[in-house]
Amino acid sequence: EATASLDPENESQVQQAINALVSDKTVVIIAHRLRTVRKADNIIVLNQGRVVEQGTHEQLLARTGLYNRLWTLQQESAGWSMKAS
């Protein structure tokens, strides 16, 4: 994915630029970071090559499925930091 190695601030700036470029187009985005697709009109969740869920970010969070679990894990890990020992 295009922003995988960026820090959150630069990722946000790149995402804003992409959003401006594709505002009236159909775009397929493959992402591991769910915040990359949270504003999409339709999110398709795959697990082992199969569609397991589909909907908007809000619809998927309202369910107790894979998207909800992954979103929760990513939000919990967002504040983690590594310290030298």
Confidence of residue 2 (pLDDT cuts 50, 70, 90): low
Q: Full-prediction pTM beyond 0.85?
A: no
How many structural domains is the chain composed of? 2
In a domain, 80, yes or no: no
Stretch 16-32: mean pLDDT, rounded? 83
Confidence of residue 82 (pLDDT cuts 50, 70, 90): low
In a domain, 81, yes or no: no
Q: 3-state class of 45 per DSSP?
A: strand
What pLDDT is recorded for position 80? 64
In a domain, 79, yes or no: no
Handedness of CA 53, 61, 35, 15 (dihedral sign): positive
Q: Percent of the chain at pLDDT above 90?
A: 39
Stretch 30-41: mean pLDDT, rounded? 86
Which structural domain range is residue 25 located in?
A: 1-33
Q: 3-state class of 65 per DSSP?
A: coil
* Cα gap 47→67, rounded to integer Å: 10
What pLDDT is recorded for position 5? 73
In a domain, 67, yes or no: yes
Same domain, 26 and 45: no
